[in-house]
Homo-oligomer: A and B are copies of this chain.
């Protein structure tokens, strides 16, 4: 059970990682390689490393594997007891999992994943080499196979792909005393069990019995007297992130999953939901940063290049467009070269301000706080904010430009261009995510690149255009 075994605080874990790296280095010292068996220190290091690894929780081994370069990672992976391989594969990130599975032969893979539950198997299946799948499926009993297939039939972002099938169900016409006796026949309860699911003979969910209520109520009462009839129930096609938000909102630990006619088919648990919340926020951070997906920091340079190419290419196109906008005004720049030095300020501040707005709107959309009615109000407010910022900071930088180049009209153009570009940034900062949502797309994805493209090209056009009109 999850309570056993010493656990590390983050700092202790870090110490252990250092110790493991140190031991690996000792074991690799060239002097030791010729006759490892004869060297006392070598054997001791080996034993100590093995002791350390055996004492670690699978989640901690996963952490160690993530934090080690590929060569050391595989050295550790080979020393981990085979019966824990499956659990560890579940804990590591997709990128690291790939590197570990690549190091295993088919037989090892099968041995690692066979002890897993159906929902866990379903999580791993897509990362396994296809040639082991027939043998794996054949090794499952009919019920397990059906469950794996059920879990695989839902996309990753739906509740059905995350539900598990380990749960305790009871009937509503029995007494709590009977429930207590029934539970004592278990060796252990499914992890995270905080409630029992009450079903009738047709397997329809009629309520839940929290363990708390089982414990505080008199054993003579019946389940139906004590149970809660109305619960947070999910459907397998519900959006996983919305379910996770419900877990967060209502402080849930587990919740039942029912099909369209109310039959209990599984449950979801807080640990899966915490993973969903983390993945959601990470993928947002990654896509903002221009990475396609989570990256193993020790991945080969080639893998990293591929992961980053898509966004770089998009950025190259938007930068080229901005460059052509400048190209339109080469005559003006030739005439007044100060324009070249000042134009990045207009574009840069617009980008920063637009990113502020879009960050806030994307967050509010993720929390479902924006209705069509409030969109207009937000546009109004953001325009006011942009006007204030534009007039204040635009005047500051306009004054600096005036002083620097001793050219008052240039300062005025600078102020006007800053203000207009900030208003453009506000308009796009509210509009782009709303439009993306309307088109059914993730508003976070590429939001930063898009707003920056608008404020760069727009800023150059506004500033150089105004300069051409009024200063030439």
Contact = CB atoms under 8 A, between A and B. Distances in A.
Interface of A: 1-7, 9-11, 13-14, 17-18, 21, 57, 59-60, 63, 66-67, 69, 180, 183-184, 186-189, 191-195, 208, 210-218, 228, 230-232, 234, 238-239, 242, 245-253, 270-271, 274-275, 277-278, 281-282, 284-286, 288-291, 295, 297-298, 301, 304-305, 308-309, 311-313, 315-316, 318-320, 322-324, 326-327, 330, 333-334, 337-345, 347-349, 352-353, 355-356, 358-361, 363-364, 367-371, 373-374, 377-378, 381-382, 384-385, 388-389, 393, 396-397, 400, 449, 452, 456, 460
**Minimum-distance CB pairs A-B, first 6:** A289-B359, A281-B281, A3-B228, A340-B340, A319-B348, A326-B341
A337 B341 contact: no
Nearest to A228: B3
Contacts of A393: 312-313, 316
B345 A304 contact: no
B211 A211 contact: yes
A352 B385 contact: no
A208 to B, nearest CB: 6
Contact of A251 (B2, B232, B245, B361): B2
A348 B348 CA distance: 10
A410 B131 CA distance: 53
A337 B330 contact: yes
**A interface secondary structure, majority:** helix
B334 A337 contact: yes
Nearest to A235: B9
Nearest to A308: B356
Contact of A18 (B340, B359, B371): B371
A6 B230 contact: yes
Contacts of A277: 274, 277-278
B216 A384 contact: no
A326 B322 CA distance: 17
B400 A320 contact: yes
A250 B297 contact: no
Contacts of A3: 195, 208, 210, 228, 230-231
Contact of A347 (B211, B248, B344, B358): B344
A258 B14 CA distance: 22
A213 B184 CA distance: 9
A361 to B, nearest CB: 8
Contacts of A282: 281, 363
Given A10-B246, A184-B215, A192-B253, 10 more contacts: A1-B228, A14-B368, A180-B215, A193-B212, A211-B215, A251-B270, A286-B359, A297-B360, A316-B345, A319-B348
A353 B312 contact: yes
Given A216-B184, A377-B69, A385-B301, A285 B281 contact: yes
A359 B282 CA distance: 10
Contacts of A214: 215
B216 A348 contact: no
B334 A290 contact: no
Contact of A323 (B5, B345, B363, B377): B345
A242 B397 contact: no
Contacts of A359: 285-286, 288-291
B347 A340 contact: no
A300 to B, nearest CB: 8
Given A277-B274, A305-B385, A370-B67, A250 B340 contact: no
Contacts of A334: 334, 337
Contacts of A290: 352-353, 355-356, 359
5 contacts: A3-B208, A10-B245, A305-B389, A315-B352, A333-B340
A81 to B, nearest CB: 19
A183 B217 CA distance: 9
Contact of A187 (B216, B316, B319, B324): B216
A438 B171 CA distance: 59
Contacts of A388: 301, 305
